Amino acid sequence: MRFLGHLLAAIATALVVGFGLSWYALSSASIFGTIEIGPWAAWRDAGSPTPDPYTRAFVSRTGALQLGASEGLQFVATRDSDGQLLDRACRYRIDGTTPLATFWTLVPTDLDGSPIARPGGPAAFHSARIARAQDGSMQLYVSRTLSPYNWLEITGEGSFALALTLYDTASFTGVGPTEATLPSIIREGCP
Amino acid sequence: MIRTALWLLAGVVLGGAIHLVVILSLPSLAANAAWARVGGLDALNRAVVLAPALPGEPNPLRLDPELAYAVCRLDLRQGPGMVRGVLPLAYWSVAVYNRAGTVLYSTTNRDGIGQNLELGIFNQDQTRLLAQQQLDVAPGLLIVESREDDVFVAVRLAPAHQVMRKRYEAALGRIVCRNNPA
């Protein structure tokens, strides 16, 4: 009986460790093969012809059409710069500069990747269509309620993600700068 | 107590092995890989323009709503794959994927290929014939070697404004994607 108890405990431990670690490695993007800058994370080799096993598993699991290494790189944030989950009830300011790229887009999505902007309006920010300060920095607002400057209206309830895609960027590719800053995501308030 | 700890340690070691098996086998087991999604489209030997990612609608391929996309699937057993088209003066890029969704090759029109997309995809046997000059290819053709026979191609096109999307999608729809006899 004692043997059976030990066996069941070992099997339970193995299942929790095995599947839990796999889920964590592929969901949190924070163990292997990722670039983390503030709240943003990207799978560095998602567009590589020879990705590491974790990146390969991530690519298969998401089923997304990954950007090739020369096409660009996508960063995703599910938390703000203070580490709190992004909540559609709150207003967020995305503040700062982006690495050099031909252009970039910033798309608020649900956690499955569907855009959550107001239907009929723009679904994303585009680097060519935003107002900037004289030093090139920007202030973008994402919220359900009216906000100043560059504002994207979102809908729905619950948590969400921000996908920042840098197209045709030399940053992080091995031929360009390896250090870069990404904008902060600042929670300005929740009603 | 020590015996219980040893059993739990064995569980942790076994868990590590399960973890490695899951990570290594996922690419061949994932039912929702991009290949399966593209396979659901009628995209064999023809370019299919993907519906834009709209708010509130599923976006399984995680498309960027600002871009227009076309995909096509090729079976290299039938001969080298050719992808040809003339695209608008805007940013565009092309990527070749294998069944696992891994990008085998990608490039953008900033790499000196202007408006003309001329891409040839060859498996290893065809690449060998190419090296022996037993295959004729057009000058300027971008040559991609694939270790696998099942590939798909995605072309991304970035309209400067959404009002241009229809025209850009029409250009994507005119892309020729087919096998050339080997």
Report H helices in chain B: 2-29, 34-39, 124-131, 165-173
Distance (Å, whole) CA A118 – CA A120:
6
> Please, which pLDDT band fits residue A31 given cuts at 50, 70 and 90?
low
Name chain A contacts of B17, Cβ cutoff 8 Å. Answer: 14, 18
Q: Is A15 in contact with B15 (Cβ distance < 8 A)?
A: yes
Same domain, A11 and A56: no
Distance (Å, whole) CA B73 – CA B178:
9
Name chain A contacts of B156, Cβ cutoff 8 Å. Answer: 71
Q: Is A119 in contact with B62 (Cβ distance < 8 A)?
A: no
Same domain, A61 and A135: yes
Same domain, A12 and A61: no
Same domain, A72 and A120: yes
CA distance B170 to chain A (A): 21
Q: By the CB < 8 Å criterion, does A21 face chain B?
A: yes
Same domain, A148 and A64: yes
Q: Each residue of A92-104: pLDDT tens digit? A: 999 998 888 999 9
Same domain, A13 and A48: no
SS3 A118: coil
> Please, which pLDDT band fits residue A58 given cuts at 50, 70 and 90?
confident
Same domain, A99 and A37: yes
CA distance A70 to chain B (A): 6
Same domain, A23 and A111: no
Distance (Å, whole) CA A54 – CA A61:
10
Structurally, how many domains does chain A consist of? 2
Name chain B contacts of A6, Cβ cutoff 8 Å. Answer: 3-4, 7
Model pLDDT, residue A60: 85
Q: Is B34 in contact with A65 (Cβ distance < 8 A)?
A: yes
Q: By the CB < 8 Å criterion, does A109 face chain B?
A: yes
Average per-residue pLDDT for chain A: 88
* CATH number of A79's domain: 2.60.120.600
* Nearest CA-CA partner of A62 in B73, B36, B8, B52: B36
Name chain A contacts of B11, Cβ cutoff 8 Å. Answer: 9-14, 17
Same domain, A75 and A23: no
CA distance A79 to chain B (A): 19
Domain spans of chain B?
48-179
Q: Each residue of A69-82: pLDDT tens digit? A: 989 999 999 999 99
* Nearest CA-CA partner of A168 in A8, A50, A47, A80: A47
Q: Going residue by residue through chain B, which has 182 residues, state the pLDDT in tens, using 9 for 90 and above.
A: 888 889 889 999 999 999 888 888 887 777 777 888 888 888 899 999 999 999 989 999 999 999 999 999 999 999 999 999 999 988 999 999 998 899 999 999 876 567 889 999 999 999 998 888 777 777 778 899 999 999 999 999 999 888 899 999 999 999 999 998 65
Range of the domain at A18: 1-31
Same domain, A9 and A74: no
Q: Are B30 and A64 in contact (CB under 8 A)?
A: no
- Kindly tell me the sign of the dihedral angle through the C-alpha atoms of A107, A110, A113, A114: negative
ipTM entry: 0.87
Same domain, A144 and A85: yes
> Please, which pLDDT band fits residue A24 given cuts at 50, 70 and 90?
confident
> Please, which pLDDT band fits residue A151 given cuts at 50, 70 and 90?
very high
Distance (Å, whole) CA A58 – CA B26:
9
Same domain, A2 and A73: no
CATH architecture assignment, domain B48-179: Sandwich (2.60)
Q: Are B162 and B59 in contact (CB under 8 A)?
A: no
> CA-CA distances (angstroms) from residue B80 to B85, B125, B142, B148?
17, 10, 12, 12
What b/e string do you get for B139-165 counting C-beta neighbours within 10 Å, with b at 16 or more?
Answer: eeebebbbeebebbbbbbbbbbeeeee
Provide the whole-model pTM: 0.88
Q: Are B74 and B179 in contact (CB under 8 A)?
A: yes
* Nearest CA-CA partner of B117 in B171, B180, B55: B171
